[in-house]
Amino acid sequence: MMKSRYVKRPKAKVHLFTNVIVCADCGTSLWYLQNRKGYVCGRYRKHGKRACTSHSIKEEKLKALVMDDLRHLTQMSVSKENVLEQVEKTVQKTKKENEKKLLQKEREVDKLKNENRKFLKLLAEEVITPDEYRDITNHNHEKIKELGIEIVKLRSENNNEALDNKQLQKFFNIAESVLKFEELTEELLHRLVEKIEVKEQGEIVIHYNFMSPLSLVV
Ligand SMILES: [Zn+2]
């Protein structure tokens, strides 16, 4: 085996939540403080009270909070069918509503097109002048264009599943692994959590890097 040519420098100890937790108010990373067994806002630590407040939180508390939230988020997956059923229901309901709206808008477009045809006839019969014809039909054309955009949007919404099977499967895999872990490990944290914001009173907001089907159902 090749030996490393570099002499290892003593490295600052990296803690579990380093690079994951940030101050909700100033956006700076929180720093681990050995004597507090927890983290404080880096900006506060460096520049004092005028720059930010401490936003301190103990590592043990943070671990428990994240694990609780993960368990809560994934417990429903124990009954996988139940989740799938509810997601399917929500998706179907939205689809139905969209189809109703689509029909309405398509009818409106037909109505406007018919109107334009009538005006064309009136123009041919010289009941209205070309200027009048242009005025009236321009307005209708604009409306038809607007409706067309809305129709395209509704159609694409209905073709897009909010959560496809791949995402669902990913979620269930995550849920299974969460259930296996007794406590929050580095592996679990870095696999699932993108960022944690710590508010002044120690409340946290967890940003996961996966999508939960529960977010659709609730
Ligand atoms: Zn701060």
| pLDDT 10s digits, 20-70 | 999 999 999 999 999 999 999 999 999 999 999 999 999 999 999 998 888
Distance, CA 206 to ligand 1 centroid (Å)?
17
Distance, CA 127 to ligand 1 centroid (Å)?
73
* Local structure of 211: helix, strand or coil: coil
Distance, CA 47 to ligand 1 centroid (Å)?
10
pLDDT tens digits for 118-157? Answer: 999 999 999 999 999 999 899 999 999 999 999 999 888 8
Distance, CA 66 to ligand 1 centroid (Å)?
20
What residues pack around ion ligand 1 (CB closer than 5 A)? Answer: 23, 25-26, 41, 43, 52
Q: In the predicted model, what is the mean pLDDT of the chain?
A: 85
Distance, CA 108 to ligand 1 centroid (Å)?
54
Please state, for a pLDDT cut of 90, what percent of the chain lies above it: 54
How many structural domains compose the chain?
2
Q: Are 35 and 105 in the same domain?
A: no
Distance, CA 30 to ligand 1 centroid (Å)?
8
pTM of the predicted model over 0.85: no
Distance, CA 23 to ligand 1 centroid (Å)?
5
Strands 204-208 and 30-33: unpaired
Q: Are 154 and 109 in the same domain?
A: yes
pLDDT exceeds 50 at position 82: yes
- Provide the domain limits for residue 95: 78-159
Does residue 93 fall inside a structural domain? yes
CA distances from 103 to 80, 106, 108, 128 (A): 35, 5, 9, 32
Mean pLDDT of 95-102: 92
Does residue 114 fall inside a structural domain? yes
Q: How confident is the model at residue 179 (pLDDT cuts 50, 70, 90)?
A: confident
Q: Are 83 and 151 in the same domain?
A: yes
Rounded CA gap, 150 and 100, in Å? 13
Rounded CA gap, 170 and 145, in Å? 40
Q: Are 87 and 140 in the same domain?
A: yes
